[in-house]
Structure 1
């Protein structure tokens, strides 16, 4: 998208002022009415996204437009128009002049807002929510970054991008999946976390989180680990706001704590009831309206965060720095901007102009701004690009920022090394492990010099070096690096710190790549037990280790144990993440593999039917994982002797994989082989031979003639020739395969 582009012959895009999860926001001019507006455009989708992804994204954008345009209230951003212009979907909104609540807190150095401001904001937000809930609309992602206070003091809720129409729940479920799929951890209700029923009371809980933050300066569960934040929402009582802010009137503290009740039935019944309670709290007490006699300097009380009672979380979380709230506006350089309209400051054209050469000072600037602030914003922009999956663009941004930071701050300055690290990570994610390895090694060496060998940042860079070595197939070197990092983390952090356990997990499964399956199994069991003790039985990382253990058991031929392990992980993930979460579905797929290996094909068939339906519902019919589930369905149809059905399924999956993944993709070739297998069982050997030959030719072309998969396909071809009575050709092909195998073995 370029400057001065004209949308639908009417709206001229002048300047990009924000970028969020649903698209970009531009300051624009309505040429027909001569007024300034904000135009939100659907973010361009790269070729890596398939048609089903684009279809769902466009449908979600249209839904946002319809919902937002129907809402007419002083406390909600006005939508003037929406439509399509070529491939661009757009939404035309009023152009707001003001700051969102996260930015107001940042402007105030994360100190809480004055009580009088909190009261005013609470009352305006409550009135806006009362209206939207009356329209059967639930916002579902209320957070400081989505709430703007305009220049005249009006408070407006923005971005109904994942709002749910109460009369259209089924449609929204198809778009958003489970409750875990949408929302921001610091402001999610317990029912969103548990994928339970979400109604208007979930917005009231999120409002409680917002009010808690502007009252105390921090969210109710201000921990650095996202899982700990979610567990806090679900299981832990928040610290009373007056422990941090003694000047807050008791009536307001009671309201905030009631909004944060775990059970929706224990919260105010609706926003109308909340409005009455806020009005009662404002009534004069002792001759003064509540809030008027309170301090307005926004300072917290003497009992700050250090005096908070210990929460029911692992001991290693004490003292953990939480950073800025997820998806809110952040201090410069602390991370990517949020998904709403909070990117107005960070994502301007400043970071796209290249190195800071336009009149900037040559020395680092202080807190007021200058080149360091600009570079921090550009660094944040690079992180945001990575968050969107645009890794190649992210690498370019981090490379440019690293060069400029090296010039301003020095090559070994922590900020310079952070940029180099992020550049290497982006290269890694974009499929360049060799270049990433060079970058990681450079950062690890520099951090060793400046920070010490056992500093957490040094060890993180060294661990990523090990991962890159593994991706390059250099598993023995990767194992050595990982073992050294484990020793350093154990010394620096202790044996049960999550980072130490993460390293032990990687070390265990690198043993698997080295062929040491028994050693891998023994170490992985120790890691799983430690993670369960430290993080909890159902923590995602605990379940991840147990999932990998089941895979090793399968490789060892212990399929009964593997099946039991996969089932336990699938059940736990369904309870924690939701039945349609990708990790849950991945575990269910492996349950199907285990059932098939044990000859329980009827059970496997039923599982794959359900799994294919779930994948289609959540990810679309052409998603590779949906096609993988359908492939399993076809295989088990064949095992049960239903070869006509198996052939039809294999043909459809092969065609879809060819379209989505490419004709020579390994998964496409597996499906084409399955077509040939079905043809053979149906006695159509001539057709089967053509299929086997095409697969063998493709594998030989892509992998090489001596690759095990290519040799296996030539073996299939030879067997088919035998079935057709063409014995001499079959013998010649068998001899060729044997020769290639001998040559391969000799080279090894």
Structure 2
């Protein structure tokens, strides 16, 4: 088609402007009428498709043409002509000057559209659907990509490619019976998913999904797995849009929730009723909707999550969950919520004595307008929401932008400016940029000390985060010094049982274990767990995090019986408070298995890991790193029970998946590869084991360095294997090389 450039001697193709599942769209020139048009061509079907498949696609294309050509409404794309040329079906439409809603969201970096625009789009689409439904036509694939907004603000519904005439049931059944997907998962109604008869109210549900997305930035069920999305549509009540974006009008929130009702009978009766509701809603509050457009910048919109976080009890909000002491697994920490004091005033919820901020040092700046401060506050809170949902990169972008604007409007040392820079540091630390985070927190700590004083809670919060990122960087001695200083200040100014004091002591206990001071770490963690149980309650997540740390310290000290009991108690309490499928609960169960294995109770550990693998697969999927870690534990315990053929098969399977998912040099992949070598050795296949041990050693040397403890351990494995093969001289030489590298490393450490 592109080679001929001219269709039926009339439509000259100029350039391709779109491509979809069914075909291509070209900008073209109608040489008969001298106008620009859009031409949609059925995508050429190759010989790999059977004739019945090709026939269905061609029939669907003709169907689109006949349906669309019958529609004449300002809210529906006009179809001028259709036919077939050289075996290729084509549809000639008006050329639209605009962007579809999916493109508008992409242009806006996935942030929601302006509230007045959202309401206007909703009203226009509702009136267009009212018209098409009254013609007996159901679109059946309404989604952002099929709704265009023109340069003059007109909204048009496009692509009735899988629309159907309501009275023509047999034809639709014939098309859908081929197994070709009808509809898009994020916008499908429950009745579409169930495969039952649909009517115009299915389009209303899809419109609800579209409006939800352009209003909040995400569809109502924003999940990675298509099946999970479909189950969400069928079974899960959506979060109200206003819970994600509070400035949405109340009437709009109600309309969207009514559209997303699970059964058609609960939705608006028809699109005309919907349009009247939207028109009435706009008329009842135009001032509020218009005012919003004046103060909310288009680039950033608050409150748009990407995923639904697991629901926790209300009392868990705002509390840190700490991290696993081994360093191989971490629970995210929740940043302090600064929103309560961000008003643009020189206040942070704590009165500052005049001596703290001398008048001579206070910035002489004009007071920014309240509207600007409100906008910045709203955007700051949007960034906090993104962080709570784990969208750290996006949160960082928002906080950097707000920090720059606050610095310009309020000054570099204003508490609000420093609060934004604090959040920038927090996002950096959570995205692996610890060195950058350290600089950012250092800047905030210095600014807060100047303006608030060294013992102010906000100053101490910044210094505590400095200690945390020092630990991330492996600088545990420096981290210890900072934690100790912050703890002393917190105990002096807040008391020993204040939650912030206890959080600092928890982190200090963790850092002590990284310094090898295991007894001190255990003792402090135990004291913190006792205090948190007294202050917060025995089942509070923070208490359980510290008890988890106690169990880890017990294990490090070889006290595995006590560790097992503590891990079991934590797992049970987390299941009660957070649910049996919560990641924290599953993590505690994993550690129960580790403890059982250490105590030689491998049969019990094996059964535990089998159940854990099943649960992790169900909750997180078979390729999730935590699922694979549970499978690794299962394989290890098969080996401990001398079931080496099974252990080797499990290790090989996990290794292959980890290599594909995580990469060949990932630490977990190398651990699995070593387990393969262990199994080969126990089966007496020492030559094969030697090859695998060497692969692991070479990879670890390449990634970590020749003198890294893990690389040296791998070379020791290799030497042991050489001994088993009777190659004693080579083994001795390798042992000597490992000893020399260990000695060099020890000298450098000193």
Query: Once the 2 structures are TM-superposed, how far is the Cα of residue 467 of structure 1 from its aligned partner?
Result: 0.7
Query: Per-residue displacement from partner, 1:516-539 (whole Å, max 9, x unpaired)?
Result: 111111111111111001110100
Alignment of 1:656-675 (within 5 A): 656-675=657-676
Alignment of 1:604-619 (within 5 A): 604-619=605-620
Distance 1:149 1:478, change over 3 A: closer
Contact 1:75 1:156 in 2 (8 A): no
**Aligned twin of 1:78:** 204
**Aligned twin of 2:603:** 602
The partner residue of 1:62 within 170, 182, 185 is 185
Q: What TM-score does the superposition give when structure 1 sets the normalisation length?
A: 0.60
Distance 1:471 1:729, change over 3 A: same
**Aligned twin of 1:679:** 680
Distance 1:423 1:602, change over 3 A: same
**Aligned twin of 2:64:** none
Distance (Å, rounded) in 1 between the aligned partners of 2:419 and 2:542? 25
Distance 1:138 1:521, change over 3 A: closer
Distance (Å, rounded) in 2 between the aligned partners of 1:500 and 1:60? 54
**Aligned twin of 2:434:** 433
Distance (Å, rounded) in 2 between the aligned partners of 1:428 and 1:454? 23
Query: Per-residue displacement from partner, 1:634-669 (whole Å, max 9, x unpaired)?
Result: 001011111111111000100111111110011100
SS at structure 1 position matched to 2:101: strand
Contact 1:40 1:92 in 2 (8 A): yes
Distance (Å, rounded) in 2 between the aligned partners of 1:640 and 1:60? 51
**Aligned twin of 1:471:** 472
Distance 1:15 1:665, change over 3 A: closer
Distance (Å, rounded) in 1 between the aligned partners of 2:182 and 2:566? 38
Distance (Å, rounded) in 2 between the aligned partners of 1:437 and 1:608? 39
Count of aligned positions = 512
Query: Per-residue displacement from partner, 1:517-565 (whole Å, max 9, x unpaired)?
Result: 1111111111111100111010001011011101001111111111111
Distance (Å, rounded) in 2 between the aligned partners of 1:587 and 1:366? 51
Distance 1:639 1:149, change over 3 A: closer
Structure 1 window deviating more from structure 2 (423-432 vs 147-156): it is 147-156
Distance (Å, rounded) in 1 between the aligned partners of 2:499 and 2:182? 40
**Aligned twin of 2:254:** 156
**Aligned twin of 1:557:** 558
**Aligned twin of 1:145:** 243
Distance 1:21 1:615, change over 3 A: farther
Query: Per-residue displacement from partner, 1:404-437 (whole Å, max 9, x unpaired)?
Result: 3222211101111112111111211121111111
**Aligned twin of 1:281:** none
Query: Once the 2 structures are TM-superposed, how far is the Cα of residue 6 of structure 1 from its aligned partner?
Result: 8.9
Distance (Å, rounded) in 2 between the aligned partners of 1:599 and 1:536? 34
Alignment of 1:198-347 (within 5 A): 225=317
**Aligned twin of 1:257:** none
**Aligned twin of 2:495:** 494
Distance (Å, rounded) in 2 between the aligned partners of 1:447 and 1:151? 38
Contact 2:719 2:735 in 1 (8 A): yes
Contact 2:207 2:259 in 1 (8 A): no
Query: Once the 2 structures are TM-superposed, how far is the Cα of residue 747 of structure 1 from its aligned partner?
Result: 2.2
Distance 1:22 1:392, change over 3 A: closer
Distance (Å, rounded) in 1 between the aligned partners of 2:583 and 2:605? 19
Query: Once the 2 structures are TM-superposed, how far is the Cα of residue 468 of structure 1 from its aligned partner?
Result: 1.3
Distance 1:163 1:59, change over 3 A: farther
**Unaligned 5+ residue runs, structure 1?**
43-57, 83-90, 99-134, 166-180, 186-191, 194-220, 229-319, 325-329, 335-361
SS at structure 2 position matched to 1:482: helix
Distance (Å, rounded) in 2 between the aligned partners of 1:676 and 1:701? 19
Query: Once the 2 structures are TM-superposed, how far is the Cα of residue 95 of structure 1 from its aligned partner?
Result: 11
1:483 corresponds to 2:479: no
**Unaligned 5+ residue runs, structure 2?**
1-16, 26-76, 78-98, 130-141, 147-180, 217-232, 264-306, 321-335, 346-364
**Aligned twin of 1:365:** 368
Contact 2:113 2:215 in 1 (8 A): no
**Aligned twin of 1:13:** 101
Q: What TM-score does the superposition give when structure 2 sets the normalisation length?
A: 0.60
Query: Once the 2 structures are TM-superposed, how far is the Cα of residue 692 of structure 1 from its aligned partner?
Result: 0.6
Query: Per-residue displacement from partner, 1:338-371 (whole Å, max 9, x unpaired)?
Result: xxxxxxxxxxxxxxxxxxxxxxxx955333x24x
Distance (Å, rounded) in 2 between the aligned partners of 1:511 and 1:152? 52
Q: Bigger relative contact order, structure 1 or 2, given CA contacts below 8 A and separation 6+?
A: 1
Distance (Å, rounded) in 2 between the aligned partners of 1:35 and 1:331? 42
SS at structure 1 position matched to 2:608: helix
Distance (Å, rounded) in 2 between the aligned partners of 1:95 and 1:524? 45
Distance 1:321 1:576, change over 3 A: same
SS at structure 2 position matched to 1:79: helix
Contact 1:141 1:182 in 2 (8 A): no
SS at structure 1 position matched to 2:100: strand
Distance (Å, rounded) in 2 between the aligned partners of 1:404 and 1:719? 62
Distance 1:448 1:524, change over 3 A: same
Distance 1:493 1:6, change over 3 A: farther
Contact 1:676 1:688 in 2 (8 A): yes
Distance 1:139 1:641, change over 3 A: same
SS at structure 2 position matched to 1:683: coil
Distance (Å, rounded) in 2 between the aligned partners of 1:607 and 1:719? 32
**Aligned twin of 1:591:** 592
CA RMSD of aligned residues (A): 4.6
Query: Per-residue displacement from partner, 1:378-403 (whole Å, max 9, x unpaired)?
Result: 43454455445443444344333323
Distance 1:575 1:726, change over 3 A: same
Query: Once the 2 structures are TM-superposed, how far is the Cα of residue 450 of structure 1 from its aligned partner?
Result: 0.8
SS at structure 2 position matched to 1:156: helix
1:718 corresponds to 2:719: yes
Distance (Å, rounded) in 1 between the aligned partners of 2:636 and 2:184? 38
